Copies of this chain bind each other. A is one copy, B any other.
């Protein structure tokens, strides 16, 4: 009897969980064809509903995409927590792990990564700002501990920002087509370890 109540497949007039289905379709389509080639119509086709259906769940295409970005940030944050768990707090290894996690996510979900930092309607999405602050505070706290500073002072701010700039740039550059010839042989993890030493040095 209980199994009768959940009808996820499209065997009736009502979908069951269209909101999620649309988010998934949106994410897959954006990741497959790029932000510029995504259309709500395509997402509807994938979910098997009419083109008007999404507007019962989202105000606009923009809001749909923003919801997908927020989802991606959730996944990113979860994977970060997982990666951090294996390293001792205040260790350089932990900082390197954070950097690697950042780069890995960019490679895993390039379109999500790019959209996260260049959304169409930034001011509409305070979720992104909160998420960013949350993660960046984590970075600063790690840097503070690694530098053995009693508090997050100007020095910690500077070094944290340097690390972020480096890791962010490395991630973005990894996504640019045709830069394979510019990337050195040295593996990403080694480069990260190296730069961490340099930035954490006095």
Q: Across the interface, which residues of B come within 8 angstroms of A176, CB to CB?
A: 117-118, 132
Complex formed: what's the CA distance from A179 to B160 in Å? 14
Q: DSSP majority for the A interface?
A: helix
Q: Which of B34, B165, B172, B179 contacts A120 (CB 8 A)?
A: B34
Q: How far is the CB of A11 from chain B (nearest CB, A)?
A: 37
- Scoring A133, A136, A170 by chain B CB atoms within 10 A of each residue's CB, the highest score goes to A170
* Contact of A129 with B178 in the complex, beta carbons under 8 Å: yes
* Contact of B169 with A184 in the complex, beta carbons under 8 Å: no
Taking the full assembly, how many copies of this chain does it contain?
2
Complex formed: what's the CA distance from A181 to B130 in Å? 12
For chain A, residues 26 to 43, give those with C-beta under 8 angstroms from any C-beta of chain B.
34-37
Q: How far is the CB of A169 from chain B (nearest CB, A)?
A: 3
Task: Pick the interface stretch among A13-21, A70-78, A83-91, A194-202.
Answer: A194-202
For chain A, residues 130 to 177, give those with C-beta under 8 angstroms from any C-beta of chain B.
132-133, 136, 154, 157-158, 161-162, 164-173, 175-177
* Contact of A184 with B132 in the complex, beta carbons under 8 Å: no
